[in-house]
């Protein structure tokens, strides 16, 4: 049922299962959704409205409300802890999202607005995102495709993957790999402790690209004509390159710099004990897989 | 750090460690072994931990080390009682006895109670995988199974427990 | 009930099927409401398992343990002689040392930590880093710098006191990853000890310690969010 279009403000609606309700949305409104456990799945459509579909158990209550410029969807246990519920949301393409949960997987497809996603035990998979995009999981993996803007992707225990994305990117995990494929970063900060980092994308003049790991390998796609000043640092690792480089400033221990092209970008490649390698553009992913013999202990 | 102090013989520090970790260890014991006194086994775990503290290097978190030690003690208990691999054979008849309509009781107890009624093999794989977060390869190693057996036991446990979820 | 599909549902849920099998089951699930319902149930079971909380035993087991280990009563006992105890912390960064490595850490009470970056890092042959914005601390905190060690122990205490509120799998993940970072820190410390003027090693050590602090802060936030 549509509330009257005169006002899009509505008080808390508690919905009876199975839920299929659509509420109008005004341009500029954002959506906040939180479920303790389950899935939040977001798709888009051309209407200025939010459709919510869910089938909660009898012990769980799902509410939707509009507070100022925010539409809020929540799940709560009627008595005691909430049980898992999957929320299927269809939202306008322009709607900014703030999604969170604990045992919650989050999937978003097609939104072209800012996104904030936070979960503890759950995977985050996003296609879309524009502006400020921040995705974070503790236990699960984070995958982002097709985003544009200022990007932050964080996991703790799993991999972080970013593809077909443009902008300033920060990617971090502790026990996982960072894969950046067909990514056009103007600035990049990718670091992990136990895992490899791979970047294959344009390197812009004036940009800073910092890739680092403690245990893992660093792989970056570059050519002799890429304009970059490259600083390589490792303690006990190795350096490999698909093409010869002229090393200058060799410092004590395994650290050195070299310049490619006009040296416009600043590239820092650091691995405490892994291999740092420059590869032909377009091959970073396959080179990383090829040398990844699963000798990394991902579950100590 | 209490672990360092305890390793050098400080019993008060060890008591603090006990207080911090006993809930988790006791719950693990209770869920893994349903035919023994969990208090006794939990006590064994801490005594063994005290004895082995000299080998705790402090590079890993104490809780993780203690947890692993607890699993070893628990699995040692299984062997002592002669619990053998035959428990892991397909045993639908036993699984069916756990079925039944859910009584309207508080959810936490009900689900835990259902876990404790599972047959040993399915229960231990379920606890190690879904509760404690180990992978099948690790569980297979710990319990002396093939990874495939671990996966099928997990599936059976979940299929049984789904009847004890609220609706 | 299509048994051949149902039997694979747990593996499907756990992401353990090969691509072809997964695609086959994907397709089947689109058509089979019954299997989809079973899958939803299995997921609920797995989630419910992860959310189990730990309970302490009804009885206090400590007296029995104390007797077994031959400890004297806790309040009056004198610790036994050291048996090759740990050497203790061999390396700790004072703030002047951190500043020399080009990074300063301002720590506020309550365990929150903010980094202030200098405007340039002096690394020969590499262009200066663009200045990062200084992050301002909330006015309500007392601004008494306590150093990295203080922040870590504050946060470790929050985590130790509150870990019972987190489910066991999350605790394991956090502990594993803190252990991984601790191991990296130890390796970096040894390397710096052998080559203390090495700017990369110093900054790598500082970065790894920062990662530990961040993870501890994240863990502490989880604990307080659940309380």
pLDDT single digits (tens) B98-138 = 333 333 333 344 788 889 888 888 999 999 999 988 889 98
Q: What is the pLDDT of residue A114?
A: 96
Cβ contacts (< 8 Å) between A58 and chain B: which residues?
166-167
SS3 B20: helix
Residue C212 φ then ψ, to 5°: -65, -45
Per the confidence metrics, is the pTM higher than 0.90? no
Cβ <8 Å between B108 and A81: yes
DSSP string, A56-110: --TTEEEEEEEETTEEEEEEEESSSSPPPEEEEEEEETT-EEEEEEEEEEEEEES
Q: Does C48 touch chain A (CB under 8 A)?
A: yes
Cβ <8 Å between A299 and B106: no
Q: Which two tokens stand for residue C198?
A: 């090495």
Q: How many CA atoms lie within 13 A of C75 on its CB side?
A: 0
Cβ <8 Å between A193 and C184: yes
B166 has a pLDDT exceeding 80: no
Q: CA nearest B134 in A: which residue?
A: A299
Burial class from Cβ neighbours inside 10 Å (0-12, 13-18, 19+) for residue A245 reads middle
Cβ contacts (< 8 Å) between B106 and chain A: which residues?
80
C touches which chains (3+ CB pairs under 8 A)? A, B
B46 has a pLDDT exceeding 90: yes
Q: Does B46 touch chain C (CB under 8 A)?
A: yes
- CA–CA dist C102, C100 (Å, integer): 5
Burial class from Cβ neighbours inside 10 Å (0-12, 13-18, 19+) for residue B65 reads buried
Q: Write out the E strands in B49-158.
A: none
How many other CB atoms are there within 10 angstroms of residue B87's CB atom? 17
Instruction: Tell me the CA distances in angstroms from B91 to B32, B121, C165, C204, C218, one per residue in order.
Output: 18, 10, 36, 55, 44
Q: With contact defined as beta carbons under 8 Å apart, do B17 and C71 qualify?
A: no
Q: Which residues contact C221 (CB under 8 A, 6 or more apart)?
A: none
Nearest to A139 among C51, C127, C170 (CB): C170
* pLDDT > 90 in chain A, percent: 66
**What's the CA dihedral at B72, B78, B81, B85 to 10 degrees?**
-140
pLDDT in tens, A36-79: 889 999 999 999 999 999 988 877 889 898 888 999 999 887 77
E strand or H helix at C46, and its extent?
Answer: helix C33-50
Q: What is the pLDDT of residue C171?
A: 85
Q: What is the pLDDT of residue B82?
A: 52
Name the pLDDT band for A83 (thresholds 50, 70, 90): confident
Q: How far is B14 from chain A (nearest CA, A)?
A: 25
Q: How far is A199 from chain B (nearest CA, A)?
A: 30
Q: What is the pLDDT of residue C162?
A: 78
Identify which has the larger pLDDT, C146 or B167: C146
Tell the residue number behind the tokens 């990295």, with chain if given.
C148
Q: What is the pLDDT of residue C136?
A: 32
Q: How far is A205 from chain C (nearest CA, A)?
A: 12
Name the pLDDT band for B84 (thresholds 50, 70, 90): very low
Cβ <8 Å between C174 and A253: no
Instruction: Tell me the CA distances in angstroms from B102 to A18, B107, B142, one per residue in order.
Output: 21, 10, 33
B touches which chains (3+ CB pairs under 8 A)? A, C
Cβ <8 Å between C61 and B43: yes
* pLDDT > 70 in chain A, percent: 90
Q: What is the pLDDT of residue B9?
A: 83
pLDDT in tens, chain C (227 residues): 457 889 999 999 998 899 899 999 999 999 998 999 899 889 889 988 888 888 888 889 999 999 888 875 544 333 332 222 233 222 333 333 333 333 333 332 222 222 222 222 222 222 333 333 333 333 333 334 457 788 888 888 888 887 777 887 888 889 889 999 999 999 999 999 988 888 889 999 999 999 998 899 888 888 877 65
SS3 C165: helix
Q: What is the pLDDT of residue C170?
A: 85
Cβ <8 Å between C168 and B131: yes
- CA–CA dist A207, A223 (Å, integer): 17
Q: CA nearest B20 in C: which residue?
A: C160
Q: What is the pLDDT of residue A154?
A: 96
- CA–CA dist C94, C91 (Å, integer): 9
- Sign of the CA dihedral running A279, A281, A283, A285: positive
Q: What is the pLDDT of residue B79?
A: 62
- CA–CA dist A151, A157 (Å, integer): 19
- Sign of the CA dihedral running A42, A47, A49, A52: negative
Averaged pLDDT of chain B: 78
Instruction: Tell me the CA distances in angstroms from C130 to A76, A199, A232, one per residue in order.
Output: 46, 21, 19
Q: How far is B107 from chain C (nearest CA, A)?
A: 10
Name the pLDDT band for A20 (thresholds 50, 70, 90): very high
Cβ <8 Å between B108 and A58: no
Cβ <8 Å between A266 and C50: no
Q: Which two tokens stand for residue B16?
A: 């603090």
pLDDT (mean) for A227-231: 94
Size of interface B-C (CB pairs under 8 A): 157
B165 has a pLDDT exceeding 80: no
Nearest to A80 among B60, B107, B135 (CB): B107
Q: Does B54 touch chain C (CB under 8 A)?
A: yes
Q: What is the pLDDT of residue A288?
A: 67
Tell the residue number behind the tokens 């035959």, with chain if given.
B86
**What's the CA dihedral at A221, A226, A229, A235 to 10 degrees?**
20
Q: How far is C157 from chain A (nearest CA, A)?
A: 20
Cβ <8 Å between B138 and A299: yes
Q: What is the pLDDT of residue A291?
A: 52
Q: Which residues contact B148 (CB under 8 A, 6 or more apart)?
A: none
- CA–CA dist A228, C1 (Å, integer): 61
Name the pLDDT band for B78 (thresholds 50, 70, 90): low
pLDDT (mean) for A171-180: 95
Q: What is the pLDDT of residue B6?
A: 86
């Amino acid at each position: 049922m549509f509330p009257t279009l005169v006002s899009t403000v509505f008080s808390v609606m508690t919905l009876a299962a199975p839920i299929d309700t659509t509420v109008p949305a005004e341009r500029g409104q954002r959506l906040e959704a939180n479920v303790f456990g389950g899935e939040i799945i977001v798709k888009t459509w051309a209407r200025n409205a939010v459709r919510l579909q869910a089938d909660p158990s009898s012990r769980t209550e799902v509410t939707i409300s509009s507070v100022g410029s925010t539409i809020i969807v929540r799940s709560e246990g009627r008595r005691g802890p909430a049980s898992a519920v999957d929320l299927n949301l269809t939202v306008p393409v322009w709607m900014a999202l703030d999604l969170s949960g604990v045992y919650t997987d989050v999937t978003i497809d097609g939104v072209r607005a800012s996104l904030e996603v936070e979960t503890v035990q759950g995977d985050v998979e996003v296609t879309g995102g524009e502006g400020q995009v921040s995705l974070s999981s503790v236990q699960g993996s984070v995958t982002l495709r097709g985003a544009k803007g200022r990007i932050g992707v964080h996991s703790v225990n799993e991999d972080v993957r970013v593809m077909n994305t443009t902008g300033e990117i920060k990617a971090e995990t502790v026990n996982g790999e960072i894969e950046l494929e067909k990514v056009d970063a103007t600035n990049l900060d990718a670091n992990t402790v136990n895992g490899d980092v791979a970047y294959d994308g344009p390197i812009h003049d004036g940009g800073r690209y910092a890739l680092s790991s403690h245990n893992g390998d660093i792989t970056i796609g570059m050519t002799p004509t890429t304009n970059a000043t490259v600083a390589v640092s490792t303690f006990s690792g190795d350096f490999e390159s698909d093409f010869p480089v002229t090393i200058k400033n060799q410092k004590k221990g395994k650290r050195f710099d070299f310049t490619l092209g006009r040296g416009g970008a600043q590239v820092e490649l650091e691995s405490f004990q892994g291999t740092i390698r420059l590869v032909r553009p377009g091959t970073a992913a396959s080179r990383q897989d090829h040398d990844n013999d699963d000798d990394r202990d991902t579950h100590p | 750090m209490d672990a360092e102090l305890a390793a050098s013989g400080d019993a008060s520090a060890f008591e603090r460690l006990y207080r911090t970790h006993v809930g988790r260890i006791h719950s693990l014991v209770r869920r893994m072994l349903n035919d023994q006194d969990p208090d006794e086994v939990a006590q064994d775990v801490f005594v063994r931990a005290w004895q082995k503290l000299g080998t705790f290097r402090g590079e890993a978190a104490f809780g993780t080390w203690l947890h692993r030690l607890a699993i070893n003690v628990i699995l040692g208990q299984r062997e002592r009682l002669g619990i053998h691999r035959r428990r892991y054979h397909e045993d639908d008849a036993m699984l069916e006895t756990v079925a039944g309509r859910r009584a309207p009781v508080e959810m936490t107890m009900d689900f835990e109670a259902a876990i404790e009624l599972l047959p040993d093999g399915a229960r231990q794989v379920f606890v190690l995988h879904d509760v404690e977060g180990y992978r099948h390869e690790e569980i297979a190693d710990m319990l002396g199974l093939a990874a495939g057996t671990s996966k099928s036991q997990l599936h059976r446990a979940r299929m049984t427990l789904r009847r004890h979820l609220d609706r | 009930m299509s048994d051949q599909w149902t039997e694979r549902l747990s593996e499907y849920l756990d992401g353990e099927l090969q691509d072809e099998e997964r695609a086959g089951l994907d397709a089947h699930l689109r058509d089979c409401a019954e299997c989809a319902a079973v899958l939803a149930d299995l997921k609920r079971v797995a989630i419910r398992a992860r959310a189990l909380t730990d309970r302490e035993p009804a009885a206090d087991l400590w007296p029995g343990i104390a007797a077994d280990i031959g400890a004297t009563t806790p309040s009056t006992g004198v610790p036994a002689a050291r048996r090759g105890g740990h050497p203790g912390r061999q390396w700790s960064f004072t703030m002047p040392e951190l500043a020399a490595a080009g990074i300063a850490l301002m720590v506020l009470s309550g365990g929150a930590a903010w980094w202030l970056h200098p405007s340039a890092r002096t690394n020969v042959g590499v262009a200066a880093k663009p200045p990062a914005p200084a992050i301002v601390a909330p006015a309500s905190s007392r601004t008494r710098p306590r150093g990295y060690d203080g922040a870590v122990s504050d946060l470790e205490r929050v985590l130790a006191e509150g870990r019972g509120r987190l489910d066991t799998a999350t605790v394991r993940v956090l502990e594993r990853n803190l252990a991984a970072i601790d191991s990296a820190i130890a390796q970096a410390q040894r390397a710096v000890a052998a080559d203390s003027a090495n700017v990369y090693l110093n900054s790598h050590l500082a970065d790894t310690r920062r990662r530990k602090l961040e993870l501890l802060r994240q863990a502490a936030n989880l604990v307080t969010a659940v309380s």
